[in-house]
Chain A
Amino acid sequence: MRTLFKILGKALLILGGLYALLFAVFFFDLDGKALFYGVEPFLVKHYDKMQRRDPLKQTYETETPSYEYKV
């Protein structure tokens, strides 16, 4: 029984700590700050460096359209 209470106590402590940590992240806008100063600049650098196909190099072919209704 005592072991069970100990485990429960520890679980509650961990959950309580996690809850407090999440609330701190929320309240002090730490998610926003991490995304603004860390994640976004990192991703922007990655996208800027990406090799991209130049779509303007492909030929533009059109077929003669039909304007008659076929309903």
Chain B
Amino acid sequence: MKKIDWKKLKETDWKKAAKDFWYGKPHGERRLGDLYMPKTGLYKHREWRGVKDTFYYFHNIWLYNYAHMVMDIMKFGGPVTFAKGLWRYRWMGQTYLPVLHWFDRGLEGMRGEALRASAWHYRAMVCVSINQFMNMFKADANLHGGQHNDAWKHTFAHKETVWGGVFYPWQDRFTNVPMEMIPYFVTCHVNNHTVLNYIDAVQSIGLPGDPCPMCQAEAGLFVLDDMPDYAPLVVTTNEACDGSVASTAIQDWYLDIPLFALPQPMQFDDPLVQEHCANEIRELWKFIEDQTGVPFDWGQLKKRLERQNELQRFEWEKWDVAANTNHYPINGVAQALYRIYQSQYGDHYIWHDTDKRVRKILEKCVEQKIDTFPKTRHRVIAWSCAPLYYSHWCTWAYNCWGLNCIINMDSLMFDMTIRTDNLDDCVMDMALYHEWAPMRRMAVGGMHHIFELWENMEKFHCDMVMMYDQLQCKGMQGVHGLFEDEFRARNIHAIWMPHALPDKRTVSRSEIRTIINDYMTTVMQEEPLDPSLLDFDDSESW
């Protein structure tokens, strides 16, 4: 048993201790790194954020989300379907049970309105994820004795990089579920152990280790027979690059169902390409009509797009606050993940519910001039494709160094509303939206778009760039030197963050932190806000 240190007790400033208990410790005194257990990233105990914020976290985040996860499962298909899916699919059982730890990692150190608004974004992503995997399981022939039930007949499968909006015309009668968004993309953020199985599986049949690990993992899901059989047709695409085309070959082989390839042109500024891409979308609609016998519904398309436009307009309001004030209450990871998820998957009721809640918080912050991230030393823009296993680096960087990630490249991709007054203009806009996809517009969409960084840096009043360096992306590796030259010429502080998208074995989280630490101490000559966060071992953590 530990002895009581009477001397230490005598020296304690009880007034200060009471204040810390009630309000939480001030930023510089928190020592968040001391809360971690070695290697696992588990907490000795969760952070004490002061009475108000600790109990907000306990009631409105921890309890609320556990309860709503159960409610979502009941609402979207029931516990039996859920249990069957959990028992059958590795990506389900291994990944999604520790989802509250995903919240913890992303919301570490957050207080007040920033804690609240960011947590609502997480809640929305959890709801949509449950909705998607339950839709998969309800329709899955693997879980229903090989039978193709009614749900199977009313579900479309597509690659996660096909924007869900192209299926709006059928959304009152059919569901669309991306094949990899839940089994691959979201898993990397929640529990990065799972994806390694799929990467290893595809390499075990002869694929070299250097292609894009995203495409490797997506193909590996099929090699390991870990994909539900949930739809009578599939729509694929070449986004992000030819790696996706290659993974499609394996998916097509395995699925053996009617497939429509909906390419996304790379050099999309050419007006002739627009026409071509719009025709591709119309051709897809024809394919769906032929396969299902259900005609295209312009009314549905229009209705859904208008709802999606609402989301985009609010996003612009959020960006306006982020760019021009210090009252923006959403942290870097919540901003990035929510935006990419929402704009890629398309309209869903939970995005609207969330935006309503976040609007209230945002307006409160602006009206009361709340400085939501008061320890901001640098306003950071993150560019290129992010490390999925360390998307919460920005939470760490703010807590440790005061680096506040204001905006990121993926958030800025689908930066448009879509005309809905007539079908011709609508399809042209849809084509452009489709082309402005993540990893397409600003990653492989041509120099002009890749260098949109400079205007966004100015627009969002950022003074530093976190330059993601996806080591296995041949596209972005090809422009590495050009960025180096531009950073020097423009006298911009940029930190290169090497990573391998989902695969933490190539560059670990700890190595990423070391690179940022080195830059901040040697180049910026700054002292950390929380030295306990400089170096810790989370190598086995989720």
Contact = CB atoms under 8 A, between A and B. Distances in A.
Contacts of A29: 42-46, 104
B98 A71 contact: no
Given A26-B62, A69-B279, A52 B205 contact: no
Given A52-B224, A55-B253, A36 B62 contact: no
Interface centre among A22, A29, A52, A70 (most CB of B within 10 A): A29
Interface string A45-65: 011000011111010110000
Interface residues of B, number: 36
A68 B312 CA distance: 35
Interface in A17-36: 22-23, 26-29, 31-33, 35-36
B286 A55 contact: no
Contacts of B193: 40
A53 to B, nearest CB: 5
A61 B255 CA distance: 11
A39 B58 CA distance: 22
Contact of A55 (B44, B63, B254): B254
B377 to A, nearest CB: 30
A44 interface: yes
Given A40-B98, A43-B94, A60-B253, A32 B42 contact: yes
B246 to A, nearest CB: 14
A60 to B, nearest CB: 5
B46 A56 contact: no
Nearest to A28: B45
Interface in B29-81: 40, 42-46, 58, 62-63
A26 B67 CA distance: 14
Nearest to A68: B283
Contacts of A71: 279, 282-283, 286
B318 to A, nearest CB: 30
Contact of B98 (A22, A23, A36): A36
A31 B65 CA distance: 13
A71 B62 CA distance: 51
A39 B97 contact: yes
A21 to B, nearest CB: 12
B95 to A, nearest CB: 9
Contacts of A36: 40, 42, 98, 542
A55 B90 contact: no
A33 to B, nearest CB: 6
A64 to B, nearest CB: 14
Interface centre among B93, B222, B252 (most CB of A within 10 A): B93
Contacts of A52: 224-226
Contacts of B222: 55
B87 A46 contact: yes
B507 interface: no
Given A60-B253, A69-B283, A47 B94 contact: yes
B256 interface: yes
Contacts of B86: 43
Contact of B101 (A23, A28, A32, A58): A32
A53 B58 contact: no
B333 interface: no
A23 B45 CA distance: 11
A39 B95 CA distance: 11
Contacts of B212: none
B134 to A, nearest CB: 19
A46 B43 CA distance: 27
A28 to B, nearest CB: 5
B476 interface: no
B284 to A, nearest CB: 10
A58 B253 contact: yes
B195 interface: no
A70 B283 contact: yes
Contacts of A54: 225
Contact of B58 (A26, A40, A46, A55): A26
Contacts of B40: 36
A38 to B, nearest CB: 10
Contacts of B282: 69, 71
A46 B42 CA distance: 23
A43 B256 CA distance: 30
A6 B104 CA distance: 40
B253 A22 contact: no
Contact of A47 (B63, B90, B191): B90
A27 to B, nearest CB: 5
B223 interface: yes
A29 B87 CA distance: 25
B218 to A, nearest CB: 14
A33 B42 CA distance: 7
Interface string B174-208: 00000000000000000101000000000001000
A19 to B, nearest CB: 10
Q: Which 3 A-B pairs have the closest CB atoms?
A: A47-B90, A29-B43, A52-B225
Given A29-B104, A69-B279, 13 more contacts: A26-B62, A27-B46, A29-B42, A33-B42, A36-B542, A40-B94, A43-B86, A47-B90, A53-B225, A55-B253, A60-B252, A70-B286, A71-B286
Interface of A: 22-23, 26-29, 31-33, 35-36, 39-40, 43-44, 46-47, 52-56, 58, 60-61, 69-71
22 contacts: A26-B62, A27-B58, A28-B46, A32-B43, A32-B100, A35-B101, A36-B42, A36-B542, A40-B191, A44-B94, A46-B87, A46-B93, A47-B90, A47-B93, A52-B224, A55-B222, A55-B225, A56-B223, A58-B256, A61-B256, A70-B283, A71-B279
